[in-house]
Amino acid sequence: MAQIAPAALSSLQSGLRGWVSGATAILFAIFVRYNRETDAALWHGGNHSNADNEFYFRYPSFQDVHAMVFVGFGFLMVFLHRYGFSSVGFTFLLAAFALQWSTLVQGFLHSFHGSHIHVSVESMVSADFCAGALLISFGAVLGKTGPAQLLLMALLEVLLFGTNEFVLLDLLGARDAGGSMTIHTFGAYFGLVVSRVLYRPWLEKSKHRQSSTYHSDLFAMIGTIFLWIFWPSFNSAPTSLGDTQHRTALNTYYSLAASTLSTFALSALVGRDGRLDMVHVQNAALAGGVVVGTSGEMMLTPFGALAAGFLAGTVSTLGYKFLTPILESKFKVQDTCGVHNLHGMPGVLGALLGVLVTALTTHQAYGDGLQAVFPLIAEGQRGATSQAVYQLLGLCVTMAFALVGGSLVGFLLRLPFLDSPPDSQCYEDQMCWEVPGECTDEAQVPLSVEEPDTRA
Amino acid sequence: MAQIAPAALSSLQSGLRGWVSGATAILFAIFVRYNRETDAALWHGGNHSNADNEFYFRYPSFQDVHAMVFVGFGFLMVFLHRYGFSSVGFTFLLAAFALQWSTLVQGFLHSFHGSHIHVSVESMVSADFCAGALLISFGAVLGKTGPAQLLLMALLEVLLFGTNEFVLLDLLGARDAGGSMTIHTFGAYFGLVVSRVLYRPWLEKSKHRQSSTYHSDLFAMIGTIFLWIFWPSFNSAPTSLGDTQHRTALNTYYSLAASTLSTFALSALVGRDGRLDMVHVQNAALAGGVVVGTSGEMMLTPFGALAAGFLAGTVSTLGYKFLTPILESKFKVQDTCGVHNLHGMPGVLGALLGVLVTALTTHQAYGDGLQAVFPLIAEGQRGATSQAVYQLLGLCVTMAFALVGGSLVGFLLRLPFLDSPPDSQCYEDQMCWEVPGECTDEAQVPLSVEEPDTRA
Amino acid sequence: MAQIAPAALSSLQSGLRGWVSGATAILFAIFVRYNRETDAALWHGGNHSNADNEFYFRYPSFQDVHAMVFVGFGFLMVFLHRYGFSSVGFTFLLAAFALQWSTLVQGFLHSFHGSHIHVSVESMVSADFCAGALLISFGAVLGKTGPAQLLLMALLEVLLFGTNEFVLLDLLGARDAGGSMTIHTFGAYFGLVVSRVLYRPWLEKSKHRQSSTYHSDLFAMIGTIFLWIFWPSFNSAPTSLGDTQHRTALNTYYSLAASTLSTFALSALVGRDGRLDMVHVQNAALAGGVVVGTSGEMMLTPFGALAAGFLAGTVSTLGYKFLTPILESKFKVQDTCGVHNLHGMPGVLGALLGVLVTALTTHQAYGDGLQAVFPLIAEGQRGATSQAVYQLLGLCVTMAFALVGGSLVGFLLRLPFLDSPPDSQCYEDQMCWEVPGECTDEAQVPLSVEEPDTRA
């Protein structure tokens, strides 16, 4: 086992980080400008009443998405009892990096006019979405990768995410507001393939750290609940103002409620002596948000949302119970957070649900609202079936990007100078963090404060 | 003591849950439809500029209410050191169930037109309010009820909540925007009566678990602070746009600030050696939000809000210190979270304050704004005194619903197959959850990482 | 060491608190009234379409600011392992007090018309800003001051904050939307001077409690992440609607992302064996929000925001590593939370950046948007250089208020009846709080639940 001196590691990592933020800054200086709604000189030149209105909604929504990505993903992964600093810290680092880098990547692909990228609050929502996909992949490799590996993965995954999203939304004209395909399916399978390539046959050396404690599970529930409450905002953030945004929020909400109920029911059913499992509650209860990522803006109907959520919670809970061990033993995929169950399968289900609901589109059901959801159908360029085929194509393209991209990136992450942690030091904060001693004597026993006088 | 095998328990519970979500889903399929503002075909048929505006406000507010209910109530109850999984987990389960079920119940009562219920983002706020009342009742029975009991209680309480709310707001024309009566008084006394009926004389067998630890108290403070910051949104969510919403938020805010100050002052005054008690800070500091639930939208004046909050904090703190022990020893009411002090008494005070402020209503004080707060007075159908009498009647009706309903539900919860936990296993997560071991050796002592080379 | 009996302490503290809230309430009764947008009779008297629009944005933003101050500051200071109750509890107390008291102080200075103060939701944002400055000062003296000292400090600091803000914004016409000067520079140097005056040469008696534990660090990360995600709302809350608010949010966001990256890079570079330090991540990563407090609303450009954040994160991390020990050993300033690094230096840098960006203002760069950012330049009353000089003057005035005011307040806090904790009892919750025992035997070992039957 080639041991690289931590000092060398440190300077390599710092070098990568320095280069990354230095290069990003230079690209910002050259290319990035405020857009019409953000620039002082451009904004006041015309009548912006509609843009104005648009903004009122988007802005709070942006903060909700932000809260969901940072608090939600950050704390959801704190469940490991010796990897909490890394989980929340690297989430923070990766998200901050992805926000900058994906602003550039998405900007070049979507809003590059007159040799400049034009940014606005909407750029922030797009970047948060990209950070979401990255953090899903992080969940698959959690505890088994060093910071330099993670930064390289982020650098490349943001590129692939942006390209895949561009192909799906701009070239194929597929619809995917809440990202069942672009965020969840892509992020999960990309991460799973990376994890497969980085397979560690002797990971059981760190098995004693791959568990939670009582309090680490409570910290993780902070993440779960923040993901739950802000998911309606997440799915509806990029949809059209008005009924579409209402409908997306409502569908997401019903789907989440249903997946929560089915998760509790299934978890007790398959649990030892009927006991509930925190892993299921923390994760599978959220599958309802994933499964309506594509179809949430469509006329899914409230019952459709409930049924989809119920199915997603069921599949996800069963996945945690039965599929994850098989994935590891048979397919050599070590999926730390079970992203295959929370994002992978529900994401694919969500994409297929999107195909189905798209195929059922009629002018009658959508009326004048068709333009907002399916502009190509409304303009007569496509029929419902044709659009459904493009949706399915979108899923295939996403899988291809995730599988091929993940393989390539996985092999790159095996480069020795990226300093992967040894098998015996996985899931261990002390590899990268100064960790305080847990319990001093004093913290354990009541302190010997000089007993103060009583109120005689 | 008839011990039911956990397996049987599990299948019973799963059966109840399955039935519950199955039946809910079927009812959704038959009855629930998007409303005009959520349906693609209906929205675009007309001019919706007002509805549009309305939406901008309601949407973020909905997310605030959501955050308050889930994060606030969920974590506030985590203070018990062996019941954190159940507190946050069952909050999650009950809220998710209540959201679906109360959408149906409230929908049948309020928005049933042409054989369908029409739902929108406002339905979510209403459902969150109902979940709030349910979680207050949960606080009274916390730790002494199994999941099947809780689900049955939820099933029935949501029905009673919806009916009581319908009688108060629609039949009596009482005003109760923030729910001093419908949410807090109802939820608290319903739960207290259930707890009385389920009285356990030998509960001291579990007394050693009915306490907090340092970290469980910090988790509970997450709940407290989220309740505090989002209470202005909670109280103002269903009020009229404009000055009414401003005023409600402002009154709630001043009332909370005052109850926080009076709680700290009183807690130190009655504490051993002048020490503060976390129980008071976690709970009584919030009484200011409860006490302006009815009158917050009225012309209470900033000073009125301060005075009300100050009083509520005082009553609540004294309640925790002196009344709760008497309630248990003399009246056989075991109130785990002290909901009588945080929701019961401040709720009744809030209702009475509403009566008082309503009686003082004049056309001069409200001007053109009277319509938004007291439409019946503005339209000349009622005088101020008459409206005040209806407010008082609303409190009486609420108490009747809570006491009678709570008694009936309490007796139903004693049905043996609902599997109540034995006296010695109250406040114990292991009854229902897989609980990880707390401290492994490794978590205690600094790890023996091979000391890396120093940067020579 | 003069030991005051805790009972006496308690009554003194309660007396101070009682007086404080009593006097506040009386002043509210006499002076405070709803403003035009909050009063039922005034609102409906005219056409308020613009005010209406204004409100949609301000309201959610207010909740964001609220969340940032209470959750953010409250939990950021929980890192001390025996001072968590005090950190989060006194944050709560001080913020609640400051909200009331600064409503009066700021009201007298800014919105006193016809013998009354007129309050609205905007008053809440202003009060939250003042609470922010107070909590920064609290961070400097954390653990070394009793509640009576803190309340007296709050009483006086709110007065000074209001006066300084009035001089800067109203008299000098300086711009400081996000408060680099009024909030961060003022709060930090005020607190540091107080801490200097209260210097404790024998503080090492409590050194063993001046550290974190694994879980207290995770609680602190809750604070960090909430500060991070809501900082764009914080900085943009008082800016003009439209492009200015967009731009401020966007600049804050890029600056925070850059300071996060530079903090991680520097922390690893200066850490022992390349390890990251939680203190840096919890604090220095936020310096990007501080540094664009003044210039965020200006045409800073995205690259400018990145560069500013990068610089702030670097300075802040280096400050924690090298400057804090020197401040204590050479300058006798004991800065518990390192507010000099997070708020002091980045605040001064932010003020200077504001001077620079102001000096570069051109009519061309701002177009019609100049009025919203620099009304005095737009109206021709000042040139860009002249405005820049006023900005610099603002920084000097702020430093003068902080240093002189902090000295005076510090000496007042040494009054013996304010009951400062003894050197050996600093950073100790048991001085003021009932603290539960940490680990009972039961919490450590798996409980002996009678093993239930297996599902035979």
User: Would you tell me which residues 73-102 of chain C have a C-beta closer than 8 angstroms to some C-beta of chain B?
Assistant: 74-75, 78, 84-85, 88-89, 92-93, 96-97, 99-100
CA C176 to chain centre: 15
| Domain architecture of chain B: domains with CATH | 13-35+60-430 (1.10.3430.10)
Residue B211, helix vs strand vs coil: coil
| CB–CB contact A88 C246 (8 Å) | no
Q: Which of B59, B70, B454 to mutate to test the interface with A (most CBs of A within 10 A)?
A: B59
Asked if the C-beta of B368 comes within 8 angstroms of chain A's C-beta atoms, the answer is no
Q: Checking DSSP bridges between strand B32-34 and strand A112-113, what pairing results, if any?
A: unpaired
As a whole number of angstroms, the distance between CA C312 and CA C262 comes to 9
| CB–CB contact B214 C120 (8 Å) | no
Residue A395, phi-psi category: left (phi > 0), alpha (psi -120 to 50), beta (remainder): alpha
Residue A435 sits at the vertex; the CA angle it makes with C439 and C345, to the nearest 5 degrees, is: 115
Q: Which residue has the tokens 């149906």?
A: B104
Task: Answer for the pair B250, C121: CB distance below 8 angstroms, yes or no.
Answer: yes
**Distance, first Cα to last Cα, chain B:** 70
| CB–CB contact B42 A428 (8 Å) | no
| CB–CB contact B97 A302 (8 Å) | no
Residue A301, phi-psi category: left (phi > 0), alpha (psi -120 to 50), beta (remainder): left
On the CB side of B245, CA atoms within 13 Å amount to: 18
B229: nearest CB among C7, C66, C454: C66
Closest CA to B302 of B354, B359, B265, B257: B257
Asked if the C-beta of B39 comes within 8 angstroms of chain A's C-beta atoms, the answer is yes
User: Would you tell me which residues 110-149 of chain C have a C-beta closer than 8 angstroms to some C-beta of chain A?
Assistant: none
Q: Which of C3, C4, C10 to mutate to test the interface with B (most CBs of B within 10 A)?
A: C10
User: Would you tell me which residues 224-283 of chain C have a C-beta closer than 8 angstroms to some C-beta of chain B?
Assistant: 273
Count of H-run helices and E-run strands, chain C: 21, 3
pLDDT at C12: 52
Asked if the C-beta of A31 comes within 8 angstroms of chain C's C-beta atoms, the answer is no
| CB–CB contact A455 B273 (8 Å) | yes
On the CB side of B283, CA atoms within 13 Å amount to: 29
Q: Which of A4, A9, A33, A38 to mutate to test the interface with C (most CBs of C within 10 A)?
A: A38
Task: Answer for the pair B141, B129: CB distance below 8 angstroms, yes or no.
Answer: no
Task: Phi first, then psi: give them for residue A383, nearest 5 degrees.
Answer: -95, 175
Predicted confidence pLDDT, tens digits, chain A (456 residues)? 334 445 445 555 666 666 666 777 787 777 777 776 677 677 655 444 444 444 444 445 677 888 888 888 888 898 888 999 999 999 999 999 998 899 889 888 887 777 888 888 888 889 999 999 999 999 999 999 998 899 999 999 999 999 999 999 999 999 999 999 999 999 999 999 999 999 999 888 888 888 888 989 999 999 999 999 989 889 988 887 778 888 898 899 999 999 999 999 899 889 888 899 999 999 999 999 999 999 999 999 899 999 999 999 999 999 999 999 999 999 999 999 999 999 999 999 999 999 999 999 998 888 888 988 999 999 999 999 999 999 999 999 999 999 999 999 999 999 887 888 999 889 999 888 988 875 443 433 333 333 333 333
What are the tokens at A136? 């899903």
**Dmax over Cα atoms in chain C, in whole Å?**
89
pLDDT at B50: 43
A214: nearest CB among B39, B66, B435: B435
Asked if the C-beta of A11 comes within 8 angstroms of chain C's C-beta atoms, the answer is yes
Who contacts C424 (Cβ-Cβ below 8 Å, separation ≥6)? Answer: C205, C206
Closest CA to B351 of B172, B193, B200: B172
Nearest-Cα distance to chain B for A365, in Å, is 6
pLDDT lower than 50: segments of chain C:
1-5, 7-8, 45-59, 439-456
Asked if the C-beta of C427 comes within 8 angstroms of chain B's C-beta atoms, the answer is no
H-state helical runs in B360-447? 363-366, 370-373, 375-378, 384-413, 441-444
Asked if the C-beta of A436 comes within 8 angstroms of chain B's C-beta atoms, the answer is no
How much is the ipTM here?
Answer: 0.89
Asked if the C-beta of B369 comes within 8 angstroms of chain C's C-beta atoms, the answer is yes
Asked if the C-beta of B56 comes within 8 angstroms of chain A's C-beta atoms, the answer is yes
A369: nearest CB among B7, B44, B446: B44
Q: Which residues of B touch C435 (CB under 8 A)?
A: 214
| CB–CB contact B226 C435 (8 Å) | no
Question: Any bridge partners for residue C113, and if so which?
Answer: C116
Task: Answer for the pair A66, C60: CB distance below 8 angstroms, yes or no.
Answer: no
H-state helical runs in A39-170? 40-43, 49-67, 74-76, 84-110, 121-141, 147-165
CA distances from A305 to A255, A361, B40, C364 (A): 5, 16, 16, 52
Nearest-Cα distance to chain C for B114, in Å, is 34
C21: nearest CB among B262, B277, B439: B262
pLDDT at C236: 87
What length does chain B have? 456
| CB–CB contact B25 A306 (8 Å) | yes
Nearest-Cα distance to chain A for C138, in Å, is 24
| CB–CB contact C269 A10 (8 Å) | yes
Residue A115, phi-psi category: left (phi > 0), alpha (psi -120 to 50), beta (remainder): left
CA quadruple B421, B427, B428, B433: dihedral positive or negative? positive
H-state helical runs in A319-445? 324-331, 339, 345-359, 363-366, 370-373, 375-378, 384-413, 441-444
B276: nearest CB among C37, C45, C89: C89
Residue A170, helix vs strand vs coil: helix
Q: Which residue has the tokens 């020490």?
A: B275
| CB–CB contact A41 C364 (8 Å) | yes
Predicted confidence pLDDT, tens digits, chain B (456 residues)? 334 445 445 555 666 666 666 777 787 777 777 776 677 677 655 444 444 444 444 445 677 888 888 888 888 898 888 999 999 999 999 999 998 899 889 888 887 777 888 888 888 889 999 999 999 999 999 999 998 899 999 999 999 999 999 999 999 999 999 999 999 999 999 999 999 999 999 888 888 888 888 889 999 999 999 999 989 889 988 887 778 888 898 899 999 999 999 999 899 889 888 899 999 999 999 999 999 999 999 999 899 999 999 999 999 999 999 999 999 999 999 999 999 999 999 999 999 999 999 999 998 888 888 988 999 999 999 999 999 999 999 999 999 999 999 999 999 999 887 888 999 889 999 888 988 875 443 433 333 333 333 333
CA distances from A290 to A107, B376, B381 (A): 26, 46, 50
Who contacts C395 (Cβ-Cβ below 8 Å, separation ≥6)? Answer: C181, C185, C348, C351, C352, C355
A-B contacts at Cβ under 8 angstroms: 242
**Dmax over Cα atoms in chain A, in whole Å?**
89
C281: nearest CB among A33, A89, A430: A89
Task: Answer for the pair A421, A149: CB distance below 8 angstroms, yes or no.
Answer: no
Count CB-CB contacts under 10 A for residue A26: 12
Q: What is the DSSP letter of B435?
A: -
Q: In a 10 Å sphere around its CB, with 0-12 CB exposed, 13-18 middle and 19+ buried, how is residue B211 labelled?
A: middle
A275: nearest CB among B34, B88, B432: B432
pLDDT at C206: 85
Nearest-Cα distance to chain A for B363, in Å, is 34
As a whole number of angstroms, the distance between CA C309 and CA C161 comes to 26
User: Would you tell me which residues 300-359 of chain C have a C-beta closer than 8 angstroms to some C-beta of chain A?
Assistant: 301-303, 306-307, 310
* Residue of chain B minimizing CA distance to A61: B60
As a whole number of angstroms, the distance between CA C253 and CA A123 comes to 11
Q: Which residues of B touch C67 (CB under 8 A)?
A: 229
| CB–CB contact B218 C222 (8 Å) | no
What length does chain A have? 456
| CB–CB contact A268 B14 (8 Å) | yes
Residue A388, helix vs strand vs coil: helix
Question: Any bridge partners for residue C276, and if so which?
Answer: A433
* Residue of chain C minimizing CA distance to B443: C214
pLDDT at C44: 57
pLDDT at A17: 64
On the CB side of B427, CA atoms within 13 Å amount to: 26
Cα Rg of chain A (Å, integer): 23
Q: Which residues of B touch C20 (CB under 8 A)?
A: 261
Residue B77 sits at the vertex; the CA angle it makes with B76 and B79, to the nearest 5 degrees, is: 95
* Residue of chain B minimizing CA distance to C67: B229
